[in-house]
Amino acid sequence: MYIDESYGSKSKYVVLSGYIIKDSDWRSIDNSIRKLKKDLFDDESYNLKNIRRNKHEKNKLWQNLSDVKKQEFNTRFYEIIKNNATLITTLINKENMDYKNKPFYFQLAYSFLLQRFQYFLQEKSQNGFVVMDQAECSEEVKGLYSYHSSLLQEGIPIKPTTIQLKIGDATVSLKDYVRQKVNYIFENVFFDDDETNNMLQIADMVAAGISSKYNHGTDRYFKLIEPILRKSKEGKVEGYGLKIFPEKSSKDTQ
């Protein structure tokens, strides 16, 4: 699972998306992306993040494409990334959070993401690992390295519970979580540079597409990636491939 985030200080949602592929499909997807870059940009090492970097020098390669060529890129790109891939994404609604803390947003989003990755691997009876960008990810995302280890050691929280703690003659109720042991995810998060990793560039494009819909009301790219969102057997996306938390603020639920 290749992970990328989309965060804006003024955005409603923190977005953390995971692009999941089989190791046997990696070479085919990588070669197809390289060929696409070569055909459209004459540079198979072109970083797709530059498409969104309006002030970046290499963004000109994208801006100089004709509308027909841009449409060709979008058509080919989204066909490539839908090949045997699965998408899981988490959105944290900052407006409905009582605890306003950026590192906490990312830890919460990551716990939901890892939980669903565990379920996905369990369904397939497969093992998997997580890859993140080492170059430009925020300190909050880098901090997920240690958080990842703690989740694997302690288990992934799956639902809230209350424990009774006896202190002297008094009994105190404390909030806690029922946790599930992680059996299918390797012990470490792997970091790579998205300048050379096409899968991380895909994850970036996917996270941007999710953010465009939920933070900016533009669902053009979301519609293109929606088919690969993880679904239940009945075809349900919410709670499976798409987790939004919290749906309501604590004030709304009181």
Tens digits of per-residue pLDDT, 141-191? 778 888 888 888 888 877 766 666 666 666 666 565 678 888 899 888 898
Handedness of CA 159, 153, 115, 147 (dihedral sign): positive
Indicate the domain borders of the chain: 2-21+85-253
Tens digits of per-residue pLDDT, 229-253? 999 999 999 999 999 998 764 444 3
Residue 111 structure tokens: 């716990």
Once rounded to an integer, what is the mean pLDDT over residues 52-69?
Answer: 84
pLDDT at residue 252, rounded to an integer: 41
